[in-house]
Structure 1
Amino acid sequence: MITDYIAYYQHLERRLAQLGQEAPGPMSGFARLHKKAVEAGALDAKTKELMALAIGIAVHCDGCIAYHTHDAVAVGATRAQLLDTIGVALLMGGGPASIYAAHALDAIEQFLPASA
């Protein structure tokens, strides 16, 4: 079964918004952390999103794959850059990460227009 990463991303957005309403303290803190961590600084936002994607693959997090593939594409990541990111994730995560690398490839193909 192939995960619909676009629908999964949309589902996560809704659920995280609900958590923000029901648990505003921790979620607002995390939202601020997320915003600050991925905004441009010494590294640009695209590099940071690619790093987050590699970590998501290495730690076996499908939600992270959905979120950070979406966000990396949104800030201009190319297929080649996303595939290089998968390579780093494989280095850091080994064999188990290869399964999540396949999941990431599904996400890339769903979020990235075919012409990119």
Structure 2
Amino acid sequence: MSYLDAINETRAELRELYKAVPGATQGFATLSKAVKDNGPLSLKEKEYVALGMALALRCSPCINFHVEALMKAGATREELGDVLAMAIQMGGGPTLMYAGEALACWDELAAKAAG
């Protein structure tokens, strides 16, 4: 399955979850919006923190979503590489494996965006 397919599949699953438990998911959405819309850090910087957490927690769907969000926030592949290197340094071998996944996701989405 491609990364884009995985992102779309996760979005479809989440839409169903939002219908099943609207109170919890609306609360989470409110929290997410408040965190992203406030504070001294840019959205891109916040997304890099989120990606680092996703790598450390080994959450593939989270990695995919935050890579996509970083692309939309104007991140570059070079910046992504720097963040991945820092995550590898902090997380060791397991993070190395998920960092490879994050980079592959970036490359696939960039190729798709390029046409």
- Tell me if both proteins adopt one fold, taking TM over 0.5 as the criterion: yes
Runs of 4 or more consecutive aligned structure 1 residues displaced over 3 Å after TM superposition: none
Quick one: percent identity of the two aligned structures?
A: 35
Could you give the per-residue CA deviations for residues 31-86 of structure 1, whole angstroms, max 9, x where no partner exists? Answer: 11122222353000001011111111121110111110000101111101111111
**Unaligned stretches of 5+ residues in structure 2:** none
CA distance in 2 between partners of 1:16 and 1:28 (Å): 12
CA distance in 2 between partners of 1:37 and 1:58 (Å): 20
SS at match of 1:42: coil
Structure 1 residue 5 displacement after superposition:
1.2
CA distance in 2 between partners of 1:40 and 1:79 (Å): 26
| Equivalent pair of 1:38/1:45 in contact (CA under 8 Å) | yes
Q: Which has the higher helix share?
A: 2
CA distance in 1 between partners of 2:89 and 2:31 (Å): 27
| TM-score normalised by structure 2 residue count | 0.89
Answer with 28-37 or 63-72: which moved more: 28-37
**Unaligned stretches of 5+ residues in structure 1:** none
CA distance in 1 between partners of 2:42 and 2:89 (Å): 23
1:69 aligned to 48, 67, 70, which one?
A: 67
CA distance in 2 between partners of 1:87 and 1:35 (Å): 28
CA distance in 2 between partners of 1:111 and 1:14 (Å): 18
Q: Show the counterpart of 2:18.
A: 20
| Equivalent pair of 1:59/1:93 in contact (CA under 8 Å) | no
1:88 aligned to 79, 86, 89, which one?
A: 86
